[in-house]
Amino acid sequence: MKEDKIYASQEIGDAPFRFNSAVAEVFPDMLRRSIPGYAASLEAIGSLAARYVTPGTSCYDLGCSLGAATLAMRQGIRAANCRIFSVDNSAAMIERCKGIIAADHSSAASKTPVEVTLGDIRDTAITNASMVVLNYTLQFLGLNDRDELIKRIVDGLVPGGLLVLSEKVIDKDPHMQALLVDLHHEHKRRNDYSQLEISRKRAALEDVLIPETVAGHRDRLAAAGFAHSGVWLRYFNFVSIVAIK
Ligand code: GEK
C-alpha cells in the first residue's frame, strides 16, 4: 500500500482536490488514515449484502473508486444470479479498479459477476436493485443532484431493498461541530499526517466535499420514499446510514 504524501509536497499548490492518478495510486492508504470508521463501513457492507441481496437482482456501488465496497458486497452475497455494477467518473480510479476486480479469484468471484464502468452516477440507470452503496460519495455531488439521485435509487430498488449511505456530516450546533472537526484532525495526526498536510487537504476539499447534517440526509431519504432509515455507525463526523425501501 503506497503511502499518501500528496499534501506533504510543496508543489501541490492550492488547486481543489481531484480524483486523479496521483490520488488513485495512494487511495487505500488515504482512506484508511483519513476516514474514521472506513474499515467498519466495509465490513458492514458485506454483512448487509448477505442479509439484503435477493436472487436475480442487481447491486450497485456508486462512486466505487478502487472497488473496496464492491469486493465487500461480492464476498457477502449469498443469493444466486446477482450482478454488481460499479461506477466511478475518475478514469484513474476505474483503470485500477478493473485490475483489482480482475485479480479477485475468490469463490465469490465466480458466483457474482462485476461490471466496472467509467461514468457519472448522475446518469447511471438503476433497476431491479436489492442493494445500492454510496460509500462516502454523495458528499461530492451538488445539493440538487443529491435529491434527484436518491429519488432514482429508491425508484430502482425492489421492495425491501437497501441503500447504504456513508458520509462526512456537519453538526448544526457550532460547538459540537468544532469539537468533531478537532477530534477528526487529531485522529489524522495520530495517523501520521502533519498539521500542514491536514490544513492543505482541508482547503483543497472546500467547495468539493459539501457535508450535510444527519437530519438533512434522513429527511431527504424519507421524502424520496424510503420507509426506514437510521445511523448504524458514527465515528466523529463520519456516519453510515442504512435506508430500506
Ligand atoms: C470506497 N466508495 O472505497 N460520478 C461518479 N463517481 C463520482 C462522482 C460522480 N458524479 N463524483 C465523485 N465520484 C469508495 C470511496 S471516494 C470517497 C469513494 C472519498 C467518485 C470519485 O471519483 C471517487 O472515486 C469517489 O466518488 C469518492 O468505499 O474520496 O472520500
Residue 10 is predicted with a pLDDT of 67
Give the pLDDT mean for 183-211. 92
Answer whether 122 contacts ligand 1 (Cβ < 6 A).
Answer: yes
Convert the pLDDT of each residue in 127-154 to its tens digit.
999 999 999 999 999 999 999 999 999 9
Distance (Å, rounded) from C-alpha 231 to C-alpha 238? 10
Q: Where are the domains of the chain?
A: 38-170+209-244
For the chain, the maximum distance between any two Cα atoms, rounded to a whole number of angstroms, is 52
Find all residues with CB under 8 Å of 72, minimum gap 6, and list them.
42, 43, 45, 46, 49
Percentage of residues in the chain having pLDDT higher than 70? 99
Summarised one tens digit per residue, pLDDT across range 148-160 is: 999 999 999 999 9
The β-bridge relationship of strands 114-118 and 228-235 is unpaired
Can you say whether the dihedral through the CA atoms of 162, 165, 170, 176 is positive or negative? positive
Q: Ligand 1 within 6 A of 38 CB?
A: no
Q: What is the mean pLDDT of residues 33-45?
A: 96
The dihedral built from the CA positions of residue 117, 122, 124 and 129, taken in this order, carries a sign that is positive
105 has a pLDDT exceeding 80: yes
Q: Are 98 and 125 in contact (CB under 8 A)?
A: no
For domain 38-170+209-244, give the fold: Rossmann fold (3.40.50)
Sign of CA dihedral 180, 181, 184, 189: negative
Task: Quote the pLDDT of residue 245.
Answer: 98
| pLDDT level of residue 209 (50, 70, 90 thresholds) | very high
Q: Which residue has the higher pLDDT, 15 or 208?
A: 208
Best substitution site from 75, 137, 233, 239 to test ligand 1's pocket, by max atoms within 8 Å of Cβ? 137
Quick check: CB of 65 below 6 Å from ligand 1?
yes
Ligand 1 centroid – CA 18 distance (Å): 10
pLDDT at 108: 95
